[in-house]
């Protein structure tokens, strides 16, 4: 049986992301979940399973391979803050290349599922948003 604790859900989502497993990722989200990218050049806001499927599907479709190293920074009262370093190998009609991205996640877990996930520039910003 999967670990549905707050950190267990976050780590399961991370494992599915690293495995290019879109359905595995979506299994960790509540049907009415929200994903918000709060970085200065962020990708926007997504409400509900189909919008979140499109968001992550677009990322996974454009990555030949990827690896998100995730470190839990804080966990309290259903909220997890994680610092991430991600390496992506991209491929497109215009060429290919490697990209590394650092960011932090602020994740609200409700009833063993991700209810809200926010992408922030760094852990300090995510921690400040939690307050």
**What pTM, to 2 d.p., does this model score?**
0.92
What residues does each domain of the chain span?
A: 6-125
CATH topology of domain 6-125: Nuclear Transport Factor 2; Chain: A, (3.10.450)
The per-residue pLDDT of the chain, averaged, comes to 93
* Cα(53)–Cα(17) distance, integer angstroms: 12
> Given pLDDT bands bounded at 50, 70 and 90, which one contains residue 62?
confident
What pLDDT, in 10s, does the model give residues 7-60? Answer: 999 999 999 999 999 999 999 999 999 999 999 888 899 999 999 999 999 989
C-alpha torsion 68→69→74→80, nearest 10: 20
In this structure, of 2-6, 46-50, 104-108, the range with the lowest mean pLDDT score is: 2-6
pLDDT at 92 over 70: no
Check: CB of residue 125 under 8 Å from CB of residue 40.
Answer: no
């Amino acid at each position: 049986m999967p670990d549905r604790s707050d950190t267990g859900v976050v780590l399961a989502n991370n494992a599915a992301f690293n495995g290019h497993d879109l359905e595995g990722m979506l299994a960790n989200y509540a049907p009415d979940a929200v994903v918000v990218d709060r970085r200065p050049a962020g990708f926007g806001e997504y409400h509900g399973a189909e919008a979140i499927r499109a968001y992550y599907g677009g990322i996974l479709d454009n990555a030949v391979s990827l690896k998100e190293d995730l470190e839990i920074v804080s966990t309290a009262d259903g909220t997890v803050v994680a610092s991430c370093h991600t390496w992506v190998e991209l491929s497109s009609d215009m060429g290919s290349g490697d990209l590394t991205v650092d960011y932090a996640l602020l994740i609200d877990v409700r009833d063993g599922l991700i209810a809200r996930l926010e992408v922030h520039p760094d852990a300090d910003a995510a921690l400040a948003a939690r307050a």
